A = this chain, B = another copy of it.
Amino acid sequence: MAGKKVLIVYAHQEPRSFNGSLKDVAVAELSRQGCTVTVSDLYAMDFEPRATRKDITGGKMVPEYTVLYMNCALSSPEFFSYGVEAYEACKKRSLTSDIIAEQKKVQEADLVMFQFPLYWFSVPAVLKGWMDRVLCQGFAFDLPGFYDDGLLKGKLAILSLTTGGTADMYWKTGASGDFRYFLWPLQHGTLHFCGFKVLAPHISFAPEFASEEERRGMVASWAQRLKTIWKEEPIPCWPPWYFGQ
């Protein structure tokens, strides 16, 4: 929809991969609609996944004494709690620049789209690190200020992911259980916690086992869905949608 802003957080190593194609077709279709599309290509950016005291900056710039300097910028230099320090640094605007840059992109976006291959029923570590570091207290949530009151309320999020396993493994009676089960920590525990409304996930099952024609069909169906993405209603937030209770 013209005027909307979309951030695509993309986690694949290979531009010519199937994930890369899904990202490319999303950029093309959303741009065609007049949206402003920004891509965070995490591997290309060599995005840092580890949450460490390096994320807390501030004080005088004395590069040769970086470690000492950073310790001095901490609220509790003797005892490092990442969550506490990141919250303080967020309020003081002294988080490291790569985190602030990503937060700015999220802040401006109407829709945040995550494009990734499923690694161990979850996101690849580089994307987990994006979540760990970017979605900090004070920016994405506060206490209180989570779930329906999360600080990113008013925004939409969607997961577009590929799997190694086939669709028949991801049913209630399949070896890997219903695919909704593994979505819970991501869609509820992370996105809903931050206040996002979540659109139905787009899962491309087992592209590695599909023919070239089937893969083209999967990319085309993603492009097709995106044509009417702005008319979609969010999915329910609560356990029955995930676990059928």
Residues on A lying within 8 angstroms of B by beta carbon are 13-14, 16-17, 43, 46-47, 49-53, 79-83, 119-126, 128-129, 131-133, 135, 147, 164, 172, 175-178, 181-182, 184-186, 188-190, 193, 208, 239, 242-245
Residues of chain B contacted by A172 (CB below 8 angstroms): 239
- What is the distance, in angstroms, from A234's C-beta to the closest C-beta of chain B? 18
> Would you mind naming 17 contact pairs between A and B with Cβ atoms under 8 Å apart?
A16-B79, A49-B125, A50-B126, A120-B131, A120-B185, A121-B185, A122-B189, A124-B132, A125-B131, A126-B129, A129-B129, A177-B188, A181-B184, A181-B243, A182-B189, A184-B184, A243-B243
A129 with B125, Cβ < 8 A, contacts A181-B184, A182-B184 known: yes
A242 near B181 (CB under 8 angstroms)?
A: yes
Beta-carbon nearest neighbor of A126 in chain B? B50
Nearest Cβ distance between residue A18 and chain B, in whole angstroms? 10
Contact of A51 among B124, B132, B185, B188 (CB under 8 A): B124
Out of B193, B208, B245, name the residue touching A244 (CB < 8 Å). B245
